[in-house]
Amino acid sequence: MANGFSFPKNEAEFNAWLSNFAYKITEYTNILGIDDAAVIFVTDAVVMTDYLITTDRILKANSKEWKKLINQIAWGNPKTTSKYPNHPDLGTPPTIPAEAAKPYIAKLVQIIKAHPNYTKYIGQDLDIV
């Protein structure tokens, strides 16, 4: 990635990093010349990754309940089954971004680090060092 920068390895850590980056980047828009479109993209990426990670957890938990029912019907006593597992409410999904988040943000990190007003403090604050 950009000058030694790399994204966290798993989705939960990436989402936590991205949330912090999105929150902090607004402090540097003027000094680093970051436009509104970049801030909106990063914010939307947080919403999308949050939604996807949460949905993944919900569906995995729900899948276990359905597998339990399948096993009970196939091998157990179906008459003891009182109901189907709940269908999870996933809410309204956010809009799918036009670009992939990590390449876009990696490019944004490169632009930030190349800006003449970029400092080590800013890099540490954005966690991009």
Give the per-residue pLDDT at 43.
95
Q: What pLDDT is attached to residue 119?
A: 97
Q: For the chain, what percentages of helix, strand and coil (3-state, to nearest 5) are there? A: 70, 0, 30
Q: What is the pLDDT of residue 2?
A: 45
Interior CA angle at 2 toward 120 and 30, to 5°?
A: 55
* CA distance linking residue 115 with residue 105, whole number of Å: 15
Radius of gyration of the chain (CA): 21
pTM, whole model, 2 decimals?
0.81
Domain residues for the domain of 108 are 2-126
Between CA 15 and CA 23 the distance in angstroms is 12
Give the C-alpha separation, 46 to 65, whole Å.
29
pLDDT < 70 regions, the chain: 1-3, 78-82
pLDDT at 53: 93
Residues 6+ apart with CB under 8 A from 82: none
Q: How many domains does the chain have?
A: 1
